[in-house]
Structure 1
């Protein structure tokens, strides 16, 4: 919950256990739709900051209760916030294919972000985070508070390639990940260069092809041949990843 609790861990644990017990009693008396709010996970640390793993309910009426709960909790603790996950709603019509008018759910989501004083910063690597063969939307994102951003001024979020899921994974880079990846890349070049370089080149080429198909999908519906090709690429990428894992285990 973001409070500094060093030296009081046992007391905080007792309080949280009591709250959890009360929640269980409460959720026995509410509908299944309301229990979707229980998918919200809270994390407690000792650094004076708060992070949230989000999964928003599918129904607009149920999601309103989530926004109210977030605003209520935010009013109790004035700490840096970072919330990320699948919110199951877009902010504006342009974040979803085939949507031209704003919906009340969009306004409610934007109002919640405003009430929490969160920053919705741009997504690099693509505009959609979920898609099927016909439509796409930006349902996933990270939201941060200005205080959290002041701790990590170089923070950015990037859409990564997807293989088999209907959601794209989102990377939250706080400024240090890129340097670590570069160091790891140098080490990998010194290790089993020939076999892994061939495998890596094959993987990179297929990921590039998947990304190109996904860019086409954001502009129009895929043809049957394109859908079949995308499925085949997913299977081939899974095989390559398995071979990479086997290579790592052999070392």
Structure 2
């Protein structure tokens, strides 16, 4: 996909999620995306043959979204690409043929003269240190490194971890972003980082173009509110107490603004402990991931990690 990007601090997220068919997993992905506030996300291994707008909106959560996807082949594969259409404008789209990834990437490099990036589960490593327990540089590593150098691609250091995949016994860095030198010049503060993984055996990776996004924090309606006893009656009661004036559309906007303020305050008073617990779970997962990388996990630690997820 080729895109035009408005001048801003762009965030791109890539993650091999190992399936999106389970609702709990989709909610975990949505929670992560809310925290990251990425402008473009690429989810691999969706394992869904049909992927519609209902699933996209459940994951994305916001209004400004467009998407494209590749269905699974058999029971494997599947890619979902979503972007904030108030930030990124799609110019064209092309689906490559199955074959050599590096060969196809080389074709892209010769067609595009503007800054670009590529990211995802590339299923290959560049250096021996990117595969735990490995000390030899094999032919595929040489080929990958030579190709990267030939195209003058920048392999940004990975912050927040050394590996992006683990099955509990083996670890490697097979997920990454590569950017052109033009991208690095345009986004001079760009960094690549590894995020906590609430689900999947892959860590999400984030390409952050730097800086803090300006503007107000968006308001999110939380589905859990609907399960709170008396919620709808509480909203009706609040709504009936708002006294505003002006045109019908102006009055509606004012009442919605008041309702948003009430909901934020009520949410803080009612569910603040939930946010604390979520933060604690993320801390536990990060701690166990770090332990897995440094010394491995015992049986009790594996059980603790599954319980936290």
Question: Of 89, 106, 130, which aligns to 2:165?
Answer: 130
Question: Of 222, 226, 234, which aligns to 2:301?
Answer: 226
Runs (4+) of structure 1 exceeding 6 A deviation are 45-48, 50-54
Corresponding residue of 1:245:
none
Alignment CA distance shift 1:192-1:133 (3 Å): same
**Which residues in structure 2 correspond to 1:1-251 (within 5 Å)?**
2=2, 65-175=100-210, 178-179=212-213, 183=217, 190=265, 192-234=267-309
Residue 132 (structure 1) shift: 0.8
Corresponding residue of 2:19:
none
TM-score by length of 2: 0.53
More strand, by proportion: 2
SS in 1 for 2:154: coil
- Listed one character per residue, the Cα deviations across residues 124-144 of structure 1 (whole Å, up to 9, x for unaligned) are 111111101111111111111
Contact 1:52-1:84 at 8 Å conserved across structures: no
Consecutive unaligned residues of structure 1, counting only runs of 5 or more, are 5-35, 235-251
Consecutive unaligned residues of structure 2, counting only runs of 5 or more, are 5-75, 220-260
SS in 2 for 1:128: coil
Alignment CA distance shift 1:117-1:52 (3 Å): farther
Between 89-98 and 71-80, report the one with greater CA deviation.
71-80
| C-alpha RMSD over aligned residues | 3.8
Alignment CA distance shift 1:196-1:123 (3 Å): farther
CA distance in 2, matches of 1:211, 1:72: 39
Aligned length: 191
More helix, by proportion: 1
CA distance in 1, matches of 2:186, 2:296: 42
SS in 2 for 1:143: strand
Contact 1:52-1:83 at 8 Å conserved across structures: no
Residue 112 (structure 1) shift: 1.4
TM-score by length of 1: 0.64
Alignment CA distance shift 1:46-1:202 (3 Å): closer
Residue 190 (structure 1) shift: 4.9
CA distance in 2, matches of 1:181, 1:233: 34
Corresponding residue of 1:22:
none
CA distance in 2, matches of 1:206, 1:163: 9
